[in-house]
Structure 1
Amino acid sequence: MNLLGAFSKVSEGIFCTDAPLVCFSHLRWDFVLQRPQHLMQRFAADRQVFFFEEYIPTDHHLAYLEIHPFAGTMVKAVRPRVPHWWNETQRETALAGLLDELLALNGNRQPILWFYTPLMFAFARHVDAAAVVYDCMDELANFKFAPPQLKAMEQALLARADVVFTGGYSLYEAKRDRHDNLHAFPSSVDAHHFRIARNGQSSPPDQAGIKGPRLGFYGVIDERLDLGLIRDIAAARPDWSFVFLGPVVKISQDDLPRAANIHYLGQKNYAELPTYLSGWDVALMPFALNEATRFISPTKTPEYLAAGRPVVSTGITDVVRSYSDVPGVYIAEDAGSFVDACAAALALRQSSTSWLETVDAVLARSSWDDTARRMRLLIEQSMGGPEPLPAEATAPLAGRTPEQPAPHA
């Protein structure tokens, strides 16, 4: 079967009408660039995409919308402002009204509603949508400070959703019995963007003075990191430098490990990441093994590899499942084995680059463009589009081994 031809037909079908897509997210558009931004950028190529964020309290006596354009994208971030003294019922009523106003401004065309947080379904459930999509990229109920009503709202969203995606295979397995149109889509990668790091870039000023070898991490610094492990490996190897890029969220700065060889350089934008990676010898994923990380499928795994850097990670289930057999990926159980794995990764980094041939073959099978295309196909089918294509047409490819679950029910 000509899959490219089939995808071309889909692009002319129901999904690619002028109906707007409203994406409800607990993350700000201009925070850390993650899965939502990658996908919405691509969907915005042929339709208006609104990125509806969490409300912001205001001193104004009325609720209103802020619509923020950003350079380099057609996606519009929508930031509702709600009087800070209103109670939950007043807030939800106001948010529902603001959503209706947004849709009215776009001709009241039936929208596609796309959710990253079930909490926002509370004020959007009344909308007559062309399709409802739940892209469950994390088990938010397991995160620190998760609202108690989150699980109940997720159940309500699952009951309404036309199609459900998960951010990894662990999440797929956990939810496979809760929806009959569920599909696993692990992290993809913009390999071209990160491959720039292999060419040798000038180190940014705030990193240039840090002596090598450099071992680095980028991402949100929160309860998912094993701070004790970081402290121990830095103490075990004072001759190595540990670089951390990213915002500190939900934990105190006072809780961060401090040492002469640990360097926190703050949050960097997506465009800057390859330049920093270029100056690293090894990339790290020192995640704690706890409820918050039980179902994660880190996007940074393929990004680090695309940059040509060996990766050392703790035993995150989806990382072990998808990448433990990939050259350049090392899994460690404790501080001692983590240090040993870093030493092995440093040795690999100083050897030939032949290991990257296998890495590139794996990464070539998973791009954000392909993920968006497969998702579009599944949404099209949920909206009454063409008959389903064979599983290989919609299955995420990178990293899945034969013993892993089928990517969708």
Structure 2
Amino acid sequence: MMSVRERPRVLFLSNVAWDYLRQRHQAMAARFGRDFEVWFVEIPGIRRLRLSDLPRIWRRLLVLCGVADGGDGGVREPVPDGVRVVRPLVLPSTNALFDWCNRVLVARWVRRHRDGLADGVEAIVTYTASSAALALVDRVPHRRLVYECTDNFAAVRGVPRSYIEREARLLKRADLTVVPSLPLAERHRGAARRIEVLPHGTEVERFLPEGPGRERPADRPVTLIYYGHMHRQHFDFPLVEGIARRRPAWRITLVGPVVTGWRWPSNVDLPGPQAHARLREFIFRSDVIILPYAINEYTRCVLPAKTFECLATGLPIVATPLPEIRRVLKAHVRIADDVSGFVAEVEAAVRDYRSPEQRSDRIAEARRQTWESRYRQMCAWLREMDDAR
């Protein structure tokens, strides 16, 4: 029997760190933190380790030792009231030995925090089926288990088979599985006890332009922007390089960590990860936002987390034909699938630069897709399950 607390506790088991990016994990945890006491538990990734991962591993060790914070390159989103970020010492869920070690490490961690966990928690919301996460699910009593499945992990390069097997068990065990896209729901519908589609949202005020749209400066080169991780799993490097070479007078700004190295032409800028205030500066010095996603088995289940953020800027967007973008946002996003198509759509977008009607339509759609509405929907599902008991 769980003791009564003034604010019930919820564990968020996250496969991403609380760093410079405000992703689904942080956005939902921040909102739960207004009504619950949230522990945001950072769990290492699931890819097989490579030499290129050594800097990231070293940075995590420094964080665990208290020498550095959890940000990427020193950049980190503030942690709101009601949320506590915790980083247990556990290993990546990449092999049987690490999985065994994680069961031992998690058992010790739970014992050290027994004052906060022994009586159980209101809910566990997990974004990962790693061995460490499932060990926590086993060790911490909870009323509800929610699996926020954000990706088609079976299509992610380097994910071990053992992870997919654990995910299948988690789908059967979770009271509720939540996915951001219809294709991902269809993929897991037969395995999950209950599955619901909850697309990514946006914090509109963080991305709205300041004041009415202005005329584009005639002497400014056409400037495109993409922000987020750049990894061959989802980012179409040849496409962006082709656009840069086809239009050498244009500027292309790629904001965020480059996970996969690439040799870029001189008109491509790589400013690295940026805090939100700086990201806004880059966005509003640009003419068009691009979403150059590769089309493959992984991305066919993807609705980019930044989709509605991009709409909130009011800027025109050109994207590759991801199925979910075509289904959900075709009226607000220009679609192109090769270099020539991208160039043509960007040029058309610049001609219609900040058209008042199109700009207003994009922002209005973003206002309908807030994280507030997503949180209310999640709470409604949880209450519905309680009422059905």
TM-score in terms of structure 2 length? 0.82
Is residue 76 of structure 1 aligned with residue 93 of structure 2?
A: no
Give, in angstroms, the shift of residue 82 of structure 1.
4.9
Give, in angstroms, the shift of residue 181 of structure 1.
1.9
Is residue 235 of structure 1 aligned with residue 248 of structure 2?
A: no
Give, in angstroms, the shift of residue 289 of structure 1.
0.7
State the alpha-carbon separation in 2 of the partners of residues 83 and 186 from structure 1. Answer: 30
State the alpha-carbon separation in 1 of the partners of residues 35 and 172 from structure 2. Answer: 29
Aligned partners of 2:12 and 2:41 also within 8 Å: yes
Give, in angstroms, the shift of residue 246 of structure 1.
0.3
Give, in angstroms, the shift of residue 303 of structure 1.
1.1
Aligned partners of 2:175 and 2:193 also within 8 Å: no
Bigger mean CA deviation after superposition, 295-304 or 68-77: 68-77
Map 1:8-157; keep pairs closer than 5 Å.
18-55=7-44, 71-74=78-81, 75-82=83-90, 87-106=98-117, 108-119=119-130, 120-126=132-138, 127-157=140-170
Which residue of the partner structure matches residue 327 of structure 2?
321
Q: Deviations over 1:12-61 (max 9, x none)?
A: xxx99632111111100114221111110010012211111125979xxx
Map 1:201-280; keep pairs closer than 5 Å.
212-223=221-232, 224-249=234-259, 251=260, 253=261, 256-280=262-286
Which residue of the partner structure matches residue 394 of structure 1?
none
Is residue 336 of structure 1 aligned with residue 343 of structure 2?
A: no
State the alpha-carbon separation in 2 of the partners of residues 108 and 186 from structure 1. Answer: 33
Give, in angstroms, the shift of residue 212 of structure 1.
2.3
Letter in 2 for 1:145: G
Letter in 1 for 2:378: M
Matched residues, number: 351
Map 1:172-183; keep pairs closer than 5 Å.
172-183=185-196
The sequence identity of aligned pairs, in percent, is 26
State the alpha-carbon separation in 2 of the partners of residues 230 and 265 from structure 1. Answer: 16
In the alignment, which of 349, 355, 360 is matched to residue 358 of structure 2? Answer: 355
State the alpha-carbon separation in 1 of the partners of residues 349 and 191 from structure 2. Answer: 40
Aligned partners of 1:195 and 1:274 also within 8 Å: no
Bigger mean CA deviation after superposition, 105-114 or 160-169: 105-114
Structure 2 regions of 5+ residues with no counterpart?
Answer: 45-55, 59-63, 71-76
Give, in angstroms, the shift of residue 106 of structure 1.
5.0
Which stretches of structure 1, 4 residues or more, deviate above 6 A after TM superposition?
64-70
Q: Deviations over 1:169-219 (max 9, x none)?
A: 221122222224211011211112111356689xxxxxxxx9522100000
Q: 1:313 to 1:257 in 2, by over 3 A?
A: farther
Which residue of the partner structure matches residue 178 of structure 2?
165
Aligned partners of 1:65 and 1:79 also within 8 Å: no
State the alpha-carbon separation in 2 of the partners of residues 325 and 100 from structure 1. Answer: 53
Give, in angstroms, the shift of residue 116 of structure 1.
0.4
Q: 1:78 to 1:199 in 2, by over 3 A?
A: farther
Which residue of the partner structure matches residue 366 of structure 1?
369
Which residue of the partner structure matches residue 310 of structure 1?
316
State the alpha-carbon separation in 2 of the partners of residues 271 and 385 from structure 1. Answer: 43
Q: 1:16 to 1:234 in 2, by over 3 A?
A: farther
Q: 1:98 to 1:68 in 2, by over 3 A?
A: farther
Q: 1:83 to 1:177 in 2, by over 3 A?
A: closer
In the alignment, which of 206, 210, 227 is matched to residue 193 of structure 1? Answer: 206
Aligned partners of 2:293 and 2:299 also within 8 Å: yes
Please give the secondary structure, in 1, of the residue aligned with 2:226: strand
In the alignment, which of 371, 380, 387 is matched to residue 385 of structure 1? Answer: 387
Give, in angstroms, the shift of residue 104 of structure 1.
2.9
Q: 1:215 to 1:168 in 2, by over 3 A?
A: same
Give, in angstroms, the shift of residue 144 of structure 1.
2.5
Bigger mean CA deviation after superposition, 295-304 or 224-233: 295-304
State the alpha-carbon separation in 2 of the partners of residues 147 and 96 from structure 1. Answer: 23
State the alpha-carbon separation in 2 of the partners of residues 103 and 57 from structure 1. Answer: 28
State the alpha-carbon separation in 2 of the partners of residues 122 and 83 from structure 1. Answer: 13
State the alpha-carbon separation in 2 of the partners of residues 91 and 386 from structure 1. Answer: 35
TM-score in terms of structure 1 length? 0.78
Please give the secondary structure, in 2, of the residue aligned with 1:354: helix
Give, in angstroms, the shift of residue 304 of structure 1.
1.4
Aligned partners of 2:89 and 2:105 also within 8 Å: no
